[in-house]
Amino acid sequence: MESITISMNAGIAKLAINRPQVMNALAASTIRDLRVALAGLRDDPAVRVVVLTGEGKAFCTGADLSDPEITLDGPLGERSQKLARMMREEINPFVSEWQTFPKPTVAAVNGATAGAGIGLALCADIVVAAQSAYFMNVFTPRLGLVPDMGVSWHLTRLVGPARARGLTMLGDRLSAVDAERWGMIWKAVPDETFADEVRGIARRLADAPPLALARLAELLEEAPDNSFAAQLERECEAQCALVGTEDAQEAVTAFREKRAPVFKGR
C-alpha cells in the first residue's frame, strides 16, 4: 500500500495518508488501501485505538481529480454513471466502515482539510486539530457539486443548520480554533504541542475499557433519533450488560486496591 503508512505502538495504530505531493488528496487506490488497512486493524486484537492523520502539511484535501478513476473529465453522459459506480462501490462503503469502526478513532488534523477530507475527519470519534489547520468546503461554490462523504450529515448535527449552510454554500475557510468554538471538533491545540496531545488522547483511549467505549459509541450515535424514554431504556440495557463483565469487576477491584485498572475487553 503505497498511499498510506501504518505503525503500531502499545495498542495504538497510526494510519497516515502518505500523498504529500498532492496534499493527501484521495485517489481511488488510496480509498482501497484505507479499506484494507481498516479491515486488518478491526480484526487485530492488539489494536485498541486508531489514529488517522496525514503526512506533510495537509490532513486531506478531498478527492484527487487527476486520478483517472475519479476525474470529472470525459463525455457528460458518462460522468454520472462513472461517479455513481465509484461512490456506491468504493467511497460510501469506505466512509460507512470508518464511521462505524468498532474501536475508538481519533482524527489528528495536522493541516489543510478540504472537501471529502472534512468528512473523513468528522467520522472519527474525536477530532484534534493543530491551531494552524483549517477546514474548507468548496464543493458547491467552486465545483458546482454538493458535499459528500457524510459532510452534510455531520455538519448539520455538529454546528447547526445555519452554520452548515454558510460553510457549504460560501466555501469560506474555517480555522481550527473556530471549529473548536463552534463544536465541530473536540480541540484545537498549539502546533508545538499537537503531537503530544494526540499521543495523550490515544493513550487514554487505549487504556480505557473497550467494551464500555463500544457501548458508549452506540448510545451517542442513537441518541439524536431516540425519545428520552427510549434512550433511558438503551442506557439500562447497556449498563446491565456491562456490569457483569470482567472489566467492570477489575474497575471495582482496582478502586479498592487504589491502583489503575487494567482493562482487557472481557
Q: Identify the CATH number of the domain in which residue 16 sits.
A: 3.90.226.10
Kindly state whether residues 198 and 233 are assigned to the same domain. no
Dihedral sign (CA 190, 194, 198, 203): negative
Q: Tell me if 28 sits within 8 A of 90, measured CB to CB.
A: yes
Boundaries of domain holding 186 = 4-206
pTM listed for this prediction: 0.92
Q: What is the pLDDT along the chain (266 residues), one digit of tens a residue?
A: 789 999 999 999 999 999 999 999 999 999 999 999 999 999 999 999 999 999 999 999 998 988 888 777 777 778 788 888 889 999 999 999 999 999 999 999 999 999 999 999 999 999 999 999 999 998 898 888 899 999 999 999 999 999 999 999 999 999 999 999 999 999 999 999 999 999 999 999 999 999 999 999 999 999 999 999 999 999 999 999 999 999 999 898 988 988 888 998 88
Q: Tell me if 63 sits within 8 A of 25, measured CB to CB.
A: yes
Kindly state whether residues 161 and 142 are assigned to the same domain. yes
Q: Tell me if 151 sits within 8 A of 122, measured CB to CB.
A: yes
Helices and strands, counts by H and E, the chain: 12, 10
Kindly state whether residues 175 and 236 are assigned to the same domain. no
Count of structural domains within the chain: 2
Strands 4-9 and 12-17: antiparallel
Q: Is residue 238 part of a domain?
A: yes
Q: Is residue 264 part of a domain?
A: no
Kindly state whether residues 25 and 94 are assigned to the same domain. yes
Q: Helices in 73-224 by DSSP H: which ranges?
A: 76-86, 92-99, 116-122, 139-143, 151-159, 161-170, 176-181, 191-207, 210-222
Q: Is residue 132 part of a domain?
A: yes
Kindly state whether residues 94 and 57 are assigned to the same domain. yes
Kindly state whether residues 149 and 220 are assigned to the same domain. no
Number of Cα atoms under 13 Å in the Cβ half of residue 111:
15
Kindly state whether residues 81 and 44 are assigned to the same domain. yes
